[in-house]
Amino acid sequence: MDYRAIEAKWQKAWDEARVYEVEPNEKKGMLVTAAFPYVNAPQHMGHLRTYGTADAYARYKRMRGMNVLYPMGFHATGTPIIAFSKRISANDQELIDELKTFYHVSDENISKMKDPVFIANYFSNEVEAGMKLAGYGIDWRRKLISIEPIFSKLIEWQFSKLKERGYIVQGSHPVGWCPNENNAVGQHDTKHDLQPEIDTVTAVKFREKGAGTVFACATYRPETIYGVTNIFVNDKISYVLAKMGGESYYLSKDAASSLGYQFQISIEKEISGAELLGKSVVNPANGEEIPVFPGYFVDGTIGTGVVMSVPSHAPFDYVALERLRPAGYDITTDRYKKLIQIDNPSDPDAATAKIPALFYLQKINADASSPDDKIDEATKLVYKEEAHFGKMLVGKYSGMPEVTARDRIRDDLIASRDAFNVYTISNDEPVFCRCGYRIVVKIVDNQWFINYGDPAWKDAARQGLSSLEVFPAKYKSTFEKVIEWINLRAAEREQGLGTRFPLNPGHIIESLSDSTIYMSYYTFIHIIRGNGVAAEQLKPELFDYVLNGNGSIKTASKATGIDTLVIQKCRDSFEYWYGFSSRHSGPDLLWNHLTMYLFNHVTIFDRKFWPSQVIMNGSVNYEGQKMSKSIGNVIPLVDALARYGADPIRFVSVAGAELDTDTDFSADSCGGVTTRVDMLHKYIIGLADMKSKELGHLDYWLYSKLHSKIAAATQSMDRLEIKAAYTEIFYSSINELKWYMDRGGNNEIVVREFIEAVTLMLSPVMPHVAEEFWQMLGKSGLVVKEEWPASNEQMINRQEDTIESVIMDTIADVNNTMALTSKIDVNKNKKVSEVKIIIADDWKLKAYNALAKSRSIGSAMSNDFGAGKAVVSLYLKQFAKNLNGMQELPNIGSETLQKAFVEASDYLSTRFGCKVVVESEKTTKSQRASRALPDKPAIDLEWK
RNA sequence: GCAGGGAUAGCAAAGCCUGGCCAAAUGCGGCGGAUUUAGGGUCCGUUCCCUUAGGGGUUCGAGAGUUCGAAUCUCUCUCCCUGCACCA
C-alpha cells in the first residue's frame, strides 16, 4: 500500500468536494473543538493524539447522522514566543541547531524569527500543513489565530462582560521575579525549566535587648518558638542594618536586597556577621533573654539570613550547638525544651525521647559530625513525624495537634506584631532566570485578577458541570474539586503577545484567560471575514447580539456598519453550532483551561450554549518512553507521516490505547497496523475470485460476528472507548475473516458485506485507506459521506457462534491431546492416523441445561431424558463440583452439530494432518464415546 | 503537606462499576516449527507450574473479611504516578 499516494489522492478528493466545509442544515449540528496548539514549534507526534481523537470522533459523529463542524485555530499569545525571538536575537546556538537539524527550518527563516509575529505565522502555517497531511477533516475557512485584531475584539468584549459581572478584581500577589530583566518569570523563563515555587514563611521578631533592633528569624515552624535557646547568624557573611516598616532590622545583605521586592527597605549601614555575635535578644513568646551565636549553616540568600535555634526539635540546630560547644558557646542540654509529643504507634520509643532532634539523628545513625545531607534527612523525618503524630506540650495551644497549633501561633504572633509573613522561593535548589540571575519573590501591587472564587460564579459552574458529559468519566470528580479550589487568577501580564488589558492598556491579557470562549468564534468568523468586515467594526453591540441575542440587529448594524443580513447569518450560525459542543484536550488542562472554559461559558452564554462534552485523552509515548527533548525522541509529525503513513500513525496514536492512558508509538506498533491493512487489501482483491451462493453455517457465523461487532463497536465509540471499538473493528475482523477463509468460506456476498461494513467503521481513524478500499469495492461516492453501519440484531446468532467455538475448542483439545499422548511409550515412532470426533447424544444437552437451571442433581434427575437413570446420574455427577457456575447452553441438536463437524472435516483433516471421522455417540463403537459433552465432543485418537 | 489516580502474567494493557462463561481479551516480545529455509517478512504452534487422553495445581501489590463462589465487593497496609497556579 502506497500511503503517500493514496493520502494525496483522497485529500485532494475531499478538498474538491469541500466535504469538511459545513454550514447549518436540517441535521443536528455539532461543534467539535480541540485546544488550539501553541505555535512556538512545529507539531510533533504528541499533538496527534488530541487532534486525531477529535478528528476521529467528529468523523464518527458525522457518520452517525450529525452535521459536524471541526475547526482549528492557533494560540500565540503570551511570553514563550517572545522568549523564543529573544533567543534567536541573542543567536542562541542550541535553539538554532534544533530548528535546523530537527525541524529543517531554513537559515533565512531562522533569521526572520527575531520577529515574534513571524514565528507565530511560520509555525501556524507549518502546523496547518501537517494537519492537512494527516488528513484531518477541518473546515479551514474558519481558521483563527489569537494575535489577530479581530480575535482581540472578541476578547475585549469578553472582559467587558466579566467586568460588568464584578468578576474582575484588583489586589496584590507574589510572583517569581527576575531582578535583572525586571519581569515575572514562569517555568519556561528559568534555567532547566524549573517552576519557581512560592511559599510563605513566618519571620519572628526577636528584639535586641536594650536597643530594640529586630532580628527577624524566618521559620516554617513558628510553633517551636517556645524552645528557642539562641539565634544564629553567619559570622562569615555581610549583614546590614535596615529600616523596614518603622523598625530597624539586622538582615543579611542578600536578604535585604531580595526582600526589597516585597517590602519597603532602606539600608542604613553594612556590618559583618561577626559584629552581631554576643548580642542578646528577647523571645517574644516568653520574654526569655537569649544570645546570638555563629551558625555555619545559615545561608544569607534564604529568608532573612537570621534563624532561630531550637535544638530540641531541629537537628541542624542541635548539631550546630554541639559543634560550637568547644568554642565556648555553651548551652547545656537541660535547657533544651521538648515542645511536641510524638505518639507514633509504629515507633513507641519516639514518645519517650527527651530530645526529638537527637532521637531522629540517632535513628538514622547520624551525629554531630555527620554531613549536612544526613542532617537534612533527620530534619525531614522530624518534620514529618511531628506533623503526623505530634501534639503540643507547651504554650497556649498545649494538647493541640502540631499542625493546627502552628497556624494559631503564627496568627497570634502576627496579630501582636511580633511576626510577619515573608514569601520565599521554596525549590530545593536555587532557581535562576535564563539570563543567569537568581529568581526572587516580588509582590505585585494593583494587579488585576479574575475572581473564580466568587461563590455565585462557582455555583453556576457546578450547574454547568452537572449538564456536562465528561470523558473519561472518572475526571468528573476531579472537575468538581477544581471548581472548589480555583480562586483568584491573574488576568494581566506585563509582557507578551496578545490583547491589551482594557483596564490597564499597558498590560496584556494573560494568555490562558484569552482562550476560554474563542470556540464560539469558529461558528461565524468566516462570515465576518467573507464580508470584508474590518476589526474596528467589531463593536460590543455585534457580540451582544450574535453571542447573547441582546439588543437588536438594527442597533448592532448601526454601531458596526455591518449589513443586517450578515449579522443575522452570524447569529443563526452561532445558535445552530453552539447548541452541542464537544471539547477535546488533555487532563492536565483540567486545572486551568478546562475549568476556566466552563466558568466563562456559564457566565457569558445562555444555558443552552453551555459546553456539552469535555473529552480528555492521554499522550503519546515513543518506544515506551515519554517524548522529550532531553531524551531526543521527539518526532516531528511531518517526518513520521513520511516514514509510516498517515493512517497507521493515526491508528496507533488514536486507537492504540484507551482514552485515559498513554499510547505507545513505535515502529513495531505501526508495522502491525500496516501488515493488517495489507491483509484486508488482499481480501478485497480476492473478492474477484469468489462467487455468491446459498448461505451455510459458516456464512451465518460470519454475519453473526459482523453484527455483534457493529453493535459492540458502536457502543464503545459512543463511550469514547476507541481502543475497544477498534480492536473489534480492525484486529478481530481480520482474524475472523482469516478464520472464515481458512475454514473454506468463500461466499462473495458475505465477505463483501463484511468488508464493506469494516471499511465504513475504519474510516474515522483511517480515512484514506477507507476511501481507497471503498473505491476498490466498487463504490462511487466518498466514504466520509456514508453512514455508519447498523447492527441487525436478528443476524446475531448464538447458535452459529457456539457451533463455531465448539469446533475451535475441539481443535485445541485435539492438539493438546496429541501432544500429551505422543509421549506415551507405546506411541513412540507412531503417528496419529485418525481422529475420531464423537458428538454427544441429545439427552445430554437437555440434562445439562436442566441441571444448570435447577442447580440440583436431585431435581434435574426427576426429568425423563430418554436415557437410563444410572447413565444420567453418572453423567450429571461430573458437574457436581461446580453446580453454581453452570450456564445454560444454546439448544443445538446433535445432528446440527454433527453436520457442522462433517462440513469442517476437510479443514480439520489438514489441520491435524490425518484422517478425521465424525460419529455420533449413539452409533460409534469408540470406547471413549461416553466422554462426549454437549459442547465438547469426545475425541478418540488412533495411533499407527 | 494538600488533592487526585494507580498496582493484573516477560512488557504494555483490558477486565473491576453490574462477583460465577477468568489461567484471565488484545498487542508486542520470547521459544519451537514451516516456507527450496542468510537476515527480514509471512504462516502455524506455544509462552504461570505439573501432567503417559482433553486433567490438576497456584496466581491478578500484601494481609484480613463478606460470599456456595472474589482479579472483581469491604477494611487495613505497602509502594508508584500526577497536579498544586498566573504558566502554555
Residue nearest to nucleotide B15 (CA to C1'): A724
Residue nearest to nucleotide B4 (CA to C1'): A478
**CA–CA distance, A525 with A573 (Å, rounded to integer):** 10
Q: Which nucleotide is nearest to A618 (CA to C1')?
A: B82
Mean pLDDT for chain A overall = 89
Q: Which nucleotide is nearest to A816 (CA to C1')?
A: B54
Q: What is the DSSP letter of A68?
A: E
* Measured CA A865 to C1' B53 distance, in angstroms: 28
> Residue A196 in 3-state DSSP?
coil
Lowest mean pLDDT among A136-150, A167-181, A547-561, A753-767: A167-181
The whole-number pLDDT of residue A171 equals 84
In the numeric block, the cell 547520624 is attached to A366
Phi-psi region of A136 (alpha: psi -120 to 50; beta: other; left: phi over 0): beta
Q: If we measure between CA atoms, which residue out of A21, A45, A47 comes closest to residue A35?
A: A47
CB A660 within 8 A of CB A474: yes
The per-residue b/e assignment along A719-740, b for 16 or more CB within 10 angstroms, e otherwise, is: ebbbbbbbbbbbebbbebbebb
Interval A669-701: pLDDT, tens = 888 898 899 889 989 999 998 999 999 999 999
Q: What share of chain A is helix, strand, coil (3-state, %, to 5)?
A: 50, 20, 30
* Measured CA A401 to C1' B66 distance, in angstroms: 36
CB A56 within 8 A of CB A654: yes
**CA–CA distance, A799 with A434 (Å, rounded to integer):** 70
Whole-number Cα distances in Å, A887 to A653, A851, A883: 39, 9, 9
Q: What angle do CA A30, A36, A38 make, to 5 degrees?
A: 175
Long-range contacts (CB closer than 8 Å, 24 or more residues apart) made by A874-879: A875/A844, A875/A847, A875/A930, A876/A847, A876/A851, A879/A848, A879/A851
Q: A842: which residues sit within 8 A by CB, 6+ positions away?
A: A893, A894
The whole-number pLDDT of residue A854 equals 83
Whole-number Cα distances in Å, A825 to A821, A828, A942: 9, 5, 15
Interval A607-630: pLDDT, tens = 999 999 999 988 888 877 777 766
**CA–CA distance, A10 with A305 (Å, rounded to integer):** 69
* Measured CA A817 to C1' B15 distance, in angstroms: 30
* Measured CA A811 to C1' B19 distance, in angstroms: 31
Q: A861: which residues sit within 8 A by CB, 6+ positions away?
A: A869, A872, A873, A876
Interval A234-248: pLDDT, tens = 999 999 999 998 899
* Measured CA A462 to C1' B74 distance, in angstroms: 31
Q: Which nucleotides of B are covered by protein (CB under 7 A)?
A: 1, 3-6, 11-14, 20-21, 25-29, 41-46, 51-54, 68-69, 82-88
> Residue A578 in 3-state DSSP?
coil
Q: Which nucleotide is nearest to A187 (CA to C1')?
A: B87
* Measured CA A669 to C1' B12 distance, in angstroms: 11
In the numeric block, the cell 542594618 is attached to A241
* Measured CA A254 to C1' B42 distance, in angstroms: 71
**CA–CA distance, A378 with A275 (Å, rounded to integer):** 31
Our CA dihedral for A773, A776, A779, A784, rounded to 10 degrees, sits at: 20
Q: What angle do CA A86, A92, A94 make, to 5 degrees?
A: 130
Lowest mean pLDDT among A294-303, A364-373, A460-469: A364-373
Q: Which nucleotide is nearest to A835 (CA to C1')?
A: B53
The whole-number pLDDT of residue A346 equals 61
Q: Which nucleotide is nearest to A937 (CA to C1')?
A: B54
The per-residue b/e assignment along A236-265, b for 16 or more CB within 10 angstroms, e otherwise, is: ebebbbbebeeeebbbbbbbbbbbbbbeeb
Residue nearest to nucleotide B42 (CA to C1'): A675
Residue A858: how many other CB atoms lie within 10 Å: 8
Lowest mean pLDDT among A115-124, A185-194, A220-229, A664-673: A185-194
CB A95 within 8 A of CB A84: yes
Residue nearest to nucleotide B19 (CA to C1'): A885
For residue A885, give the C-alpha cell. Answer: 457456575
- A688, burial (CB in 10 Å: exposed 0-12, middle 13-18, buried 19+): exposed
* Measured CA A902 to C1' B34 distance, in angstroms: 27
Partners of A493 in the β-ladder:
A508
Amino acid identity, position A390: G
Interval A542-563: pLDDT, tens = 999 999 999 999 999 999 999 9
The whole-number pLDDT of residue A630 equals 67
Q: Which nucleotide is nearest to A673 (CA to C1')?
A: B27
The whole-number pLDDT of residue A345 equals 59
The H or E element that residue A58 is part of is helix A45-63
Q: A376: which residues sit within 8 A by CB, 6+ positions away?
A: A316
Q: What's the pLDDT band for A297 if we cut at 50, 70, 90?
A: confident
- Cross-sheet strand order for the sheet of A440-451: A183-184, A168-178, A440-451, A488-490
The whole-number pLDDT of residue A18 equals 97
Q: Which nucleotide is nearest to A486 (CA to C1')?
A: B85
For residue A17, give the C-alpha cell. Answer: 468536494
Residue A106: how many other CB atoms lie within 10 Å: 10
**CA–CA distance, A234 with A274 (Å, rounded to integer):** 8
* Measured CA A577 to C1' B42 distance, in angstroms: 49
Q: What's the pLDDT band for A920 if we cut at 50, 70, 90?
A: very high
**CA–CA distance, A746 with A690 (Å, rounded to integer):** 6
- Within A578-636, where are the H helices? 593-604
Determine the average pLDDT of the residues in A596-609.
Answer: 96
Residue nearest to nucleotide B82 (CA to C1'): A588
In the numeric block, the cell 499522550 is attached to A619
CB A207 within 8 A of CB A308: no
- Cross-sheet strand order for the sheet of A832-839: A915-920, A832-839, A938-943
* Measured CA A468 to C1' B16 distance, in angstroms: 25
Phi, psi of A49 (to 5 degrees): -60, -55
Q: Which nucleotide is nearest to A678 (CA to C1')?
A: B42
* Measured CA A753 to C1' B75 distance, in angstroms: 54
Q: Which nucleotide is nearest to A184 (CA to C1')?
A: B86
Instruction: Find the helix packing angle between A733-742 and A697-718, rounded to 10°.
Output: 180
Query: Which residue spans within A799-909 are E strands per DSSP?
Result: 832-839
> Residue A452 in 3-state DSSP?
coil
**CA–CA distance, A109 with A119 (Å, rounded to integer):** 9
pLDDT at A439 over 90: no
* Measured CA A470 to C1' B21 distance, in angstroms: 33
The whole-number pLDDT of residue A528 equals 97
**CA–CA distance, A542 with A753 (Å, rounded to integer):** 52
Q: A380: which residues sit within 8 A by CB, 6+ positions away?
A: none
Residue nearest to nucleotide B2 (CA to C1'): A485
The whole-number pLDDT of residue A327 equals 87
- Cross-sheet strand order for the sheet of A625-626: A625-626, A620-622, A663-665
- Within A517-563, where are the H helices? 525-530, 540-548, 553-560
CB A903 within 8 A of CB A701: no
* Measured CA A888 to C1' B21 distance, in angstroms: 10
Whole-number Cα distances in Å, A729 to A52, A136, A413, A698, A762: 18, 21, 68, 19, 7
Cα A768 to chain centroid, rounded: 28
Q: Which nucleotide is nearest to A942 (CA to C1')?
A: B53
pLDDT at A190 over 80: no
The H or E element that residue A291 is part of is strand A289-294
* Measured CA A495 to C1' B9 distance, in angstroms: 55
Determine the average pLDDT of the residues in A523-546.
Answer: 97
Q: Which nucleotide is nearest to A78 (CA to C1')?
A: B88
Amino acid identity, position A31: L
* Measured CA A801 to C1' B66 distance, in angstroms: 37
Phi, psi of A190 (to 5 degrees): -105, 160
Q: Which nucleotide is nearest to A40 (CA to C1')?
A: B88
* Measured CA A346 to C1' B77 distance, in angstroms: 12
* Measured CA A42 to C1' B85 distance, in angstroms: 27
Query: What percentage of chain A has pLDDT greater than the value 70?
Result: 99
Q: Which nucleotide is nearest to A186 (CA to C1')?
A: B87
Q: What's the pLDDT band for A524 if we cut at 50, 70, 90?
A: very high
CB A599 within 8 A of CB A452: yes
pLDDT at A882 over 80: no
